[in-house]
Structure 1
Amino acid sequence: MSLDLTLHASGPANAESLSPAMAEAHRQLEICNACRYCEGFCSVFPAMMRQKVFTSGDLNHMANLCHNCRGCYYSCQYTPPHEFALNIPAALAEVRQESWESFIRPRALGRAFQERGFAIALLVMIATGALLWFAMNATANPASQFYQQMAHNLMVAIFAPAFILPLLVIAFGVSDYWRKTGGTWPCMADLKDAFGSVARMRNLAGGHGEGCNFEKKDRYSNARRYAHQAVLYGFLLCFLATSSGTLMHYALGWAAPYGLFSPPKMFGISGGILLVLGSIEMIRLKLKADPALGAQRVWRGEFAFIALLGLTAATGLALYAATGTSLVRPLLALHLGAVLTLFLMMPFTKMVHGFFRLSALIIEAQKRRAKAGN
């Protein structure tokens, strides 16, 4: 199959000014829209085919729909050394990263983490861990239980703002993104479609259901899909552990420590194991993948985020295993420092992609429903 197109990079036909990353994505998507060979691969291509000219809002929307599975790249006849030089995964990854940095403020902090993520995460974790160490009860037995080291109310006073305030920063950013990309008030069908896609990682299964091409190039694999599911469900289980412990403490008057077969422990241990395994697998796959098919400038920041996520879970499991030993106090400081760092840096790490991608999937469900109604 051949395609007779004039190669250009002048941007969209309208007068809207685009950043260099958006202009390059626009050029490539125009060529894709003429070819349409990859139309069944993921949610990006149906979204692309609804129109011929793309605004910055359209480009942001498609970039956040992209899961970087790379199937389109390995199936494309216009990748380098062809003169069109298509690299849709990298082009959309650059726009996607640019969108997070533009909608989440302060923008400079997001860029800094992506460029020096390991150093920033380590410094914040050491600083917060040291502060928490000093906040612990120095008179308590180093081997005593969790809340004997630090009072429950003090822990809530520290961690509640550290969790809520970053969520507010993300909420304002997602709200701006929602307006920019044409989102409206969702109905139950839109939410069901989007959450179902996330639960099954549908866009990492490929149009054929055999997986994506992230780490095996022209061969299909479900490894990345399963690693993402392990991290997602592990995180949700850890969140359930914290939520159930809060409910038991305040609503039922059941104070910690909790037994092995209590909801906080069962959810926390299973979630921690899934998070550790999923993080290790994601790092392994990322080391095997071609960095040229992603946003190369944020490669280190992505590794730093995955490592921080895995470390948070691993220190939590180690803390539980060390119950009754003198390691409780140092492990508690290390674990709480990792958790606090994860919370504080949440808007500026790749963790924010979950909020934007879910929003993109909801908006895409709305757009499909609107088109079907016309």
Structure 2
Amino acid sequence: MQTDLLEEARRQAQICNACRYCEGYCAVFPALQQERAFSDGTLTQLANLCHNCRGCYYACQYTAPHEFDVNIPKALAEVRQDSWEAFAWPGNIASLFQKSGVLIALATIAGFAILFLVISTFRPSGGQGFYAVLSHSAMVTIFLPAFLYPIVSLWISLRRYWHETGGSRVTLSNLADAFGSAARLKNLSGGHGDGCNFEDEDRYSNARRFAHQAVMYGFLLCFASTCSGTILYYFLDSPGPYPFWSVPKLLGVPGGLLILAGGAELIRLKLKADKGLGAAEVWGGEMGFVLLLLFVALTGLALYLLGGTVALPLLLAVHLGSVLAFFLLTPYTKMAHGFYRLAALVRDAQRKGAS
């Protein structure tokens, strides 16, 4: 990890620890105030615990032009981003995506879409709907490794994070505490529950919290839809396509709509927010991820609506290409932050249990 970023975060953390004005703002400050000296691992943990709400910055009396020049959201955002790149496996892809996320996402989608179009010219002898264009066995052959790869990559990355932050054996109580906070996105509501100041210095809002919740639960619904389709296919001998009132559609369609609504709101907020209070150099990579997620949801819904038309082969190729790009790029995009944030919450639950 970059020493200069850690040193700047350490300097600012020491000032915050002496001041303690922001004691109740979020989970970062109780954890920070338990320390007397800040190791690299401690700073990495604090950075990943931070949700970049920015309320502490607007409340701080030591921001520029004060000589202390405190900007703890920016300092922690830069350490957080650097930690993701340092722990990523393999790591060189992570830094590349953060610099050119939109271009990489577009190129990856286009490349995979062309690949699927070529494969679809070898039509299977049987099958209905999607399977009349691309066989189920071909989809499994392509997507199973693509699904397993990010799991292995993220597992290696999180092990590195856990070792760096001094994590110990995880208990069920730790997991319950962490998942409870994650499910409610508790730290995005601010210490007072009125929201954070991400959009505007003078306005508290839960808009960012609700947008994150829409994306998170939308993604989980889509994942559940895929799992239910797998169960229907393999265990109940019921291959697709499925009608609207089937479990896969009742989960997948609302999930896609939630991702679209939440992702669009996140883009609006990101365009409106002050870039100087985050890791500005990776702004493009973060935007690239949100756009990729939106594209996956949009093409999935379009495929559902137009799947019975002549547009099916092209739509299927583009959608599968975007899904494949999403999976393979997951360890290097902002998607990885959810896993690191959950690990940080587990680590914080251990801290609270030991105090």
Measured against the shorter chain, the TM-score band is over 0.9
Identity, % of aligned positions: 53
Give matches, 1:355-366, under 5 Å: 355-366=339-350
Match of 2:166 in 1: 182
- Determine the C-alpha separation between the residues in 2 that align with 1:263 and 1:182: 42
TM-superposed CA distance for 1:307, in Å, is 0.2
Aligned pair 1:124/2:98, yes or no? Answer: no
**SS of alignment partner, residue 303 of structure 2:** helix
Aligned pair 1:284/2:268, yes or no? Answer: yes
Match of 1:337 in 2: 321
Match of 2:238 in 1: 254
Deviations 1:264-290 (A, max 9, x none): 111110100000111100000000000
Give matches, 1:340-351, under 5 Å: 340-351=324-335
Match of 1:240 in 2: 224
TM-superposed CA distance for 1:308, in Å, is 0.2
Alignment length (residue pairs): 354
TM-superposed CA distance for 1:251, in Å, is 1.3
**SS of alignment partner, residue 214 of structure 1:** strand
- Determine the C-alpha separation between the residues in 1 that align with 2:98 and 2:129: 37
Aligned-partner residue type, residue 282 of structure 1? L
Match of 1:13 in 2: none
Post-superposition, which runs of at least 4 consecutive aligned residues in structure 1 deviate over 4 A? 137-141
User: Does the 8 Å CA contact 2:123/2:132 hold for their aligned counterparts?
Assistant: no
TM-superposed CA distance for 1:137, in Å, is 4.4
Aligned pair 1:23/2:7, yes or no? Answer: yes
Match of 2:119 in 1: 135
Aligned pair 1:101/2:101, yes or no? Answer: no
User: Does the 8 Å CA contact 1:18/1:56 hold for their aligned counterparts?
Assistant: no
User: Does the 8 Å CA contact 1:114/1:349 hold for their aligned counterparts?
Assistant: yes
Q: TM-score, normalised by structure 1?
A: 0.93
TM-superposed CA distance for 1:214, in Å, is 0.4
Deviations 1:353-372 (A, max 9, x none): 0111100000100111011x
Aligned pair 1:73/2:57, yes or no? Answer: yes
Match of 1:293 in 2: 277
Match of 1:206 in 2: 190
Match of 2:26 in 1: 42
Aligned-partner residue type, residue 162 of structure 1? A
Aligned-partner residue type, residue 102 of structure 1? A
- Determine the C-alpha separation between the residues in 1 that align with 2:184 and 2:44: 23
Deviations 1:222-245 (A, max 9, x none): 000000000000000000000010
Q: Which moved more, 1:27-36 or 1:131-140?
A: 131-140
User: Does the 8 Å CA contact 1:137/1:148 hold for their aligned counterparts?
Assistant: no
User: Does the 8 Å CA contact 1:194/1:361 hold for their aligned counterparts?
Assistant: yes
Aligned pair 1:150/2:134, yes or no? Answer: yes
Aligned pair 1:302/2:286, yes or no? Answer: yes
Match of 1:8 in 2: none
- Determine the C-alpha separation between the residues in 2 that align with 1:237 and 1:208: 30
Match of 2:209 in 1: 225
Could you tell me which of 97, 110, 114 is aligned with 2:94?
110
Change (3 A) 1:231 1:18: closer
- Determine the C-alpha separation between the residues in 2 that align with 1:54 and 1:218: 31
Could you tell me which of 37, 42, 45 is aligned with 1:61?
45
Could you tell me which of 142, 147, 156 is aligned with 1:163?
147
**SS of alignment partner, residue 77 of structure 1:** coil
Match of 1:191 in 2: 175
TM-superposed CA distance for 1:105, in Å, is 2.2
Aligned-partner residue type, residue 321 of structure 2? G
Deviations 1:143-165 (A, max 9, x none): x6111110011101101100111
- Determine the C-alpha separation between the residues in 2 that align with 1:211 and 1:201: 11
- Determine the C-alpha separation between the residues in 1 that align with 2:123 and 2:181: 51
- Determine the C-alpha separation between the residues in 1 that align with 2:2 and 2:232: 52
TM-superposed CA distance for 1:252, in Å, is 1.4
User: Does the 8 Å CA contact 1:117/1:300 hold for their aligned counterparts?
Assistant: yes
Change (3 A) 1:281 1:18: closer
TM-superposed CA distance for 1:94, in Å, is 0.3
5+ long unaligned stretches in structure 2: none
Deviations 1:67-104 (A, max 9, x none): 00001000000000000000000000000000000000
TM-superposed CA distance for 1:218, in Å, is 2.5
TM-superposed CA distance for 1:140, in Å, is 7.2
User: Does the 8 Å CA contact 2:263/2:290 hold for their aligned counterparts?
Assistant: yes
Match of 1:370 in 2: 354
5+ long unaligned stretches in structure 1: 1-16
- Determine the C-alpha separation between the residues in 1 that align with 2:123 and 2:268: 43
- Aligned-residue CA RMSD in angstroms? 1.4
TM-superposed CA distance for 1:138, in Å, is 4.6
- Determine the C-alpha separation between the residues in 2 that align with 1:226 and 1:302: 18
